């Protein structure tokens, strides 16, 4: 047998030759707009901290107070002795905010998605997923052991045709609320209608909708004014617009009790630090009550789109802070991102397999911490780095 390191090094070299090698930058500052990465100051256009809450003074204060009160580690899983009153209060507030019976905290969104899908379906059942769903949803579907099918992106009619062929057992329909690499919305009213008429159960992961969409920041579901009946399983994450860490599932009393019994990643993982739950409660209060954040963000999104359209950039159908510019070729995308970095802008190049082959892109994300001037400067830099031959 070959040495492990020899095999892995060969793979890594091939990866680099295809332009698909992934590297990390090292950030020396808090999350925000003016950040220091790899020792240099840059303007950040790739964070998911859409509302600027990750470094908000009140959120930091609550984290400190939470640590004073509860210490740092939660000590065990929720079902042993890790479930604190901070966690419990946050679950109740998340249930109220989403207009659902109950909410259940998870340590990450990835785990929440794997948990929900593999607890609800198994061998002999069906899972149907949007083709460009987040990796954690696709992985959850594969891990569940259920028969797995993808339907064309946001195509409720194709989903319905596919559902009519899935005879027999339980069927789960699973979709992002806001697609994480495209920024567009799932057609939730249509998906809910198809699920209802075929008896399938609908799971929506609104990692990028919460905090940003809807009058109270309730996400895609609030945006479309849908209820727990329409979308019985709602997943949200806390590390993006909410600015902290963790995730939750919201739904009926029966769903939450079932997950507590059956979701293995829930049962066998240490609970989040309670101080994180305290910080999240403060963050939720800020984003619910201060609608100026959503208003400002929408204004910035409009400004960016109008400017980008003027430059003839290939935008996607997105009304959210995720505003990808499609480049296509992997090397062009990487080169463009490097050139933007030289001009002081941090914009990530997203390549396959995260996005379909041939659709490499710059994933630009906007934050309420940006000002008009940041947007205008980015647009100038985008036009100056536009394709052309690579230097
Ligand atoms: C980020 C993301 C997740 C994962 O959430 P984490 O809390 O970061 O593990 C799940 N679903 C979608 C759509 C995401 O964008």
CATH for 19-51+291-384 is 3.90.1150.10
pLDDT in tens, 170-198: 999 999 999 999 999 999 999 999 999 99
Rounded distance between C-alpha atoms, residue 33 and residue 197, angstroms? 46
By alpha-carbon position, which residue is closest to atom 14 of ligand 1?
207
pTM: 0.96
| Residues forming a β-bridge with 149 | 128
Q: Say yes or no: CB of residue 239 within 6 Å of ligand 1.
A: yes
Total number of residues shown for the chain: 391
Whole-number pLDDT of residue 390: 41
Rounded distance between C-alpha atoms, residue 258 and residue 277, angstroms? 23
Q: Say yes or no: CB of residue 109 within 6 Å of ligand 1.
A: yes
The rounded percent of the chain whose pLDDT value lies above 70 is 98
pLDDT in tens, 223-274: 999 999 999 999 999 999 999 999 999 999 999 999 999 999 999 999 999 9
77 pLDDT band (50/70/90 cuts)? very high
pLDDT in tens, 145-177: 999 999 999 999 999 999 999 876 899 999 999
Q: Write the DSSP assignment of 285-305 as a string of letters.
A: HHHHH-THHHHHHHHHHHHHH
For ligand 1, what atom is nearest to the CA of residue 208? 15
Q: Which of 193, 190, 280, 295 is nearest to 239 (CA)?
A: 280
Mutate to test the pocket of ligand 1, among 105, 110, 135, 320 (most ligand atoms within 8 A of CB): 110
- Among 3.40.50.2300, 3.20.20.140, 3.40.640.10, 3.40.50.12780, name the CATH number for the domain at 57-289: 3.40.640.10
Whole-number pLDDT of residue 314: 87
For ligand 1, what atom is nearest to the CA of residue 240? 1
The pLDDT of residue 124 is above 70: yes
Q: Which residue in 223, 240, 296, 370 is the catalytic one?
A: 240
Q: Say yes or no: CB of residue 207 within 6 Å of ligand 1.
A: yes
Instruction: State the DSSP code for 52.
Output: S
The pLDDT of residue 389 is above 90: no
Q: Are 107 and 274 in contact (CB under 8 A)?
A: no
Q: Which of 125, 142, 119, 138 is nearest to 180 (CA)?
A: 138
The Cβ of residue 284 has, within 10 Å, a number of other Cβ atoms equal to: 24
The pLDDT of residue 285 is above 50: yes
Task: Please report, for the chain, the start and end positions of each structural domain, with discontinuous segments joined by +.
Answer: 19-51+291-384, 57-289
Phi, psi of 88 (to 5 degrees): -65, -45
At residue 87, the 3 state secondary structure works out as: helix
Q: Is residue 208 annotated as a catalytic residue, yes or no? A: yes
At residue 91, the 3 state secondary structure works out as: helix
Q: Which of 88, 133, 130 is nearest to 110 (CA)?
A: 133
Cα separation values, 378 from 54, 241, 343, 364, 391, Å: 23, 22, 9, 10, 21
Q: Which of 340, 315, 339, 310 is nearest to 327 (CA)?
A: 315
């Amino acid at each position: 047998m070959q040495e492990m390191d020899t095999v892995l090094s060969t793979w890594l070299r091939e990866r680099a030759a295809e332009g698909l090698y992934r590297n990390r930058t090292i950030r020396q500052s808090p999350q925000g707009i003016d950040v220091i990465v790899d020792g240099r100051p840059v303007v950040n256009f790739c964070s998911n901290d859409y509302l600027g809450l990750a470094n908000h003074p009140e959120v930091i204060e609550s984290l400190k107070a939470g640590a004073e009160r509860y210490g740092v580690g939660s000590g065990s899983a929720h079902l042993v002795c890790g479930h604190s009153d901070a966690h419990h209060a946050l679950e109740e507030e998340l249930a109220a905010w989403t207009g659902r019976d109950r909410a259940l905290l998870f340590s990450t969104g990835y785990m929440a998605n794997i948990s929900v899908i593999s607890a609800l379906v198994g061998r002999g059942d069906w899972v149907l997923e949007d083709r460009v769903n987040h990796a954690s949803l696709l992985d959850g579907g594969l891990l569940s052991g259920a028969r797995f099918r993808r339907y064309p992106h946001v195509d409720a009619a194709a989903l319905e045709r596919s559902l009519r062929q899935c005879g027999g057992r339980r069927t789960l329909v699973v979709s992002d609320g806001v697609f994480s690499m495209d920024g567009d919305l799932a057609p939730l009213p249509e998906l809910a209608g198809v699920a209802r008429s075929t008896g399938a159960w609908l799971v929506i992961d609104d990692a990028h909708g919460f905090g940003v969409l809807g009058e109270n920041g309730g996400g895609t579901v609030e945006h479309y004014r849908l209820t727990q009946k329409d979308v019985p399983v709602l997943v949200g994450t806390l590390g993006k617009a909410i600015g902290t860490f963790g995730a939750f599932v919201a739904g009926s009393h029966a769903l939450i009790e079932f997950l507590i019994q059956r979701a293995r990643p829930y049962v066998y993982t240490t609970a989040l630090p309670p101080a994180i739950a305290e910080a999240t409660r403060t963050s939720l209060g800020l984003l619910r009550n201060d609608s100026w954040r959503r208003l400002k963000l929408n204004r910035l999104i409009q400004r960016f789109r109008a400017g980008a359209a003027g430059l003839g950039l290939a935008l996607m159908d997105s009304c959210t802070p995720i505003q990808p510019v499609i480049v296509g070729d992997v090397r062009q995308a990487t080169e463009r991102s490097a050139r933007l970095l030289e001009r002081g802008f941090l914009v990530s190049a997203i390549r396959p397999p995260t996005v379909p082959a041939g659709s490499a892109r710059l994933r630009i994300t906007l934050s309420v911490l940006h000002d008009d001037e940041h947007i205008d400067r980015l647009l100038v830099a985008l036009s100056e780095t536009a394709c052309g031959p690579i230097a």
